[in-house]
Chains A and B, each alone.
Chain A
Amino acid sequence: MSINTDMAVRVTAITQVAESVKRFRFERLDGKPFPVFPGGAHVVVAWKDGGMIRRNPYSLMSAPGDTSAYEISVLRVEKSRGGSAFLHEKVKLGDTLSLSQPVDLFPIDQRGRKHIFMAGGIGITPFMAMMDQLSKLNQNFELHYAVRTRTHGAYWQELTERYGAHRVKIYCDAEKLFIPTEPLLGAQPLGTHLYVCGPGGMIDGVLGTARKLGWPEENLHSERFLAPPPGAPFTVKLTRSNKTVEVAEHQSILEAVEAAGVDAPFMCRGGACGQCETNVTACDGEILHHDHYLPQADKASGKKIMICVSRIKGKEITLDL
């Protein structure tokens, strides 16, 4: 980013909220209030990892109107690239990190007369902020929350207590309870909006059911962040910066060019927002498009790449950067 608006923060609380899930509370070093954010927004958390700067996006789950602190909840992922492992194991109370300004790629559609949230596991986090916002506006919403086991599921108890069992439904895999997607979506009043956040398979399944039932595309909202998938190393040539950069196995192109001192545009770092769209000048190999931003035609053309999550299978790619 050309304008640095990052906020230096201190970790002021770390809470184990469920098996493998920790909540982190951040307060600004300069003591100023955080911006009020719209429910569904995320921040990019940055920290120094050895000689590198790591940046990962996390949904804000604190109350959108609370400007004293921002909170995120992080699931410890088995095959972590370093993000969740670092936050879970290395970050201690009092440590300083850097947060980007909040960005909302998963906003509430304010025209809706009713809002249905479907969460799988850690996908609950953006909905925590969205429900806080809607309940203060006295708007109609329901949460359908699937968890693996009661001990793995974060916040289900406090959400049930806060919003009531008529608005918060918990489905536990271990108890053979699953979200009854079809009857649920088949009976919603006109003007309902659906929001899904969770594992990719769940999102595809729920949205597929909604489409099959005749829900218009305009009422379907989902968010999935991708961690940049690993792959074989390759070389990136940057025409404008006149640099040649090696991309390591567990590194994204974006991370590699940043490490080389190139200021590439980015926002979500999860293949969703479109900010890091880059023109491909030449490619000796096959582009592996991992994003869910570029239209199919652009992916097929081989002329564009989202450098935050996509990479190549081959030797070398030349980018207009």
Chain B
Amino acid sequence: MLVNGIKSRPVYTGLTIDPNAGRHLFALEGEGPQALFDQVQQVGAGFLASAQILYVPTTAAPKDHAAKIAALKPDDLWLAPTIAVLLNRFRNELSRATMRTRIYVAGTEGFIGQVMRETLDFGVDHKSIRNEHRGSEARRVQCVHCKGITEDVKTSPYACTHCGLNLLVRDHYSRRLAAFQGVSIEAEEPGTAPPPEELFR
């Protein structure tokens, strides 16, 4: 069960390279590098001479993405062990970035959302950030009751990992929290939750 058709659901418009940018800053996760490889195929590798790439290869991703990026010889490639560490480095890069820097994000929705949130805090409009969803469709969801965030939610309803309520996953999204909003599916009548349905692979 999923509630969709909600306007706040993010739309990922693609990692299109901005030919005018003086510097290209990439934050990639998991299968995200495939969006980069597609761009190289389409517009050539020229932009990589002024590209800085931060990549976190998650366990689900095949290991050779990092080697393949390195083979493209970007100006800088840095591998992060976890998303949290990548975000920390990314913030530092933003504080050094100029208006000539274009920001690109690719990976799972939860990752894109967290990178976007860091960028928005720097006074950048969300429409200025180029993004592409790659990899798992699992969602990052906030429980609207206890405010706890659960990563990698694959079903709806799901049991909140913080308070245990059975939550209905909706397309209602918060850019500030970088999370979809989950709401109790049996608030009126406890014990009536339907069985979880696997919706996000």
A186 near B128: Cβ-Cβ < 8 Å? no
Query: Residue among B21, B95, B99, B120 with the most chain A CB within 10 A?
Result: B99
In the complex, which residues of chain B have a beta carbon less than 8 angstroms from the beta carbon of A211?
A: 20
Asked if B7 is an interface residue, CB under 8 A from chain A, the answer is: no
Which residue of chain A is the closest to B18 with respect to CB atoms?
A214
Q: Is A218 an interface residue (CB 8 A)?
A: yes
Report the separation of the CA atoms of residues A82 and B123 in the bound assembly, to the nearest whole angstrom: 42
Q: B49 in the interface, Cβ–Cβ < 8 Å?
A: no
12 contacts between A and B (CB under 8 A): A109-B123, A111-B125, A185-B99, A187-B98, A188-B99, A190-B95, A212-B20, A213-B22, A214-B101, A216-B127, A218-B127, A218-B128
User: With a CB–CB cut-off of 8 A, which chain B residues contact A185?
Assistant: 99
| B125 and A214 contact, CB distance less than 8 A | no
CB < 8 Å neighbour of A191 from B18, B124, B127: B124
At the interface, yes or no: B146 with Cβ under 8 Å from chain A?
Answer: no
Q: Which of B103-151 contact A (CB under 8 A)?
A: 120, 122-125, 127-128
A112 contacts the other chain (Cβ, under 8 Å)? yes
Taking CB atoms and an 8 Å cut-off, the chain A residues in 155-191 that contact chain B are 185-191
With A213-B99, A219-B99, A219-B128 as known contacts, state yes or no: A186 contacts B22, CB within 8 Å: yes
Q: How far is the CA of A112 from the CA of B122 in the complex (A)?
A: 8
Check if B100 sits within 8 Å of A191, measured CB to CB: no
B125 touches A189 (CB 8 A): no
Flag if B125 contacts A213 (CB, 8 Å). Answer: no
Q: What residues of B have a CB within 8 angstroms of the CB of A191 in the complex?
A: 122-124
| Cα of A304 to Cα of B125 in the assembled complex, Å | 31
A191–B127 Cα gap in the complex (Å)?
A: 13
Enumerate chain B residues within 8 angstroms of A215, measured Cβ to Cβ.
Answer: 99-100
Structural contact, A189 and B128, CB atoms closer than 8 A: no
CB contacts (< 8 Å) of B99 on chain A: these are 185-186, 188-190, 192, 210, 213-215, 219
- Chain A residue contacts of B98, Cβ below 8 A: 186-190
Q: Tell me the smallest distance from the CB of B95 to a CB of chain A, in Å.
A: 8
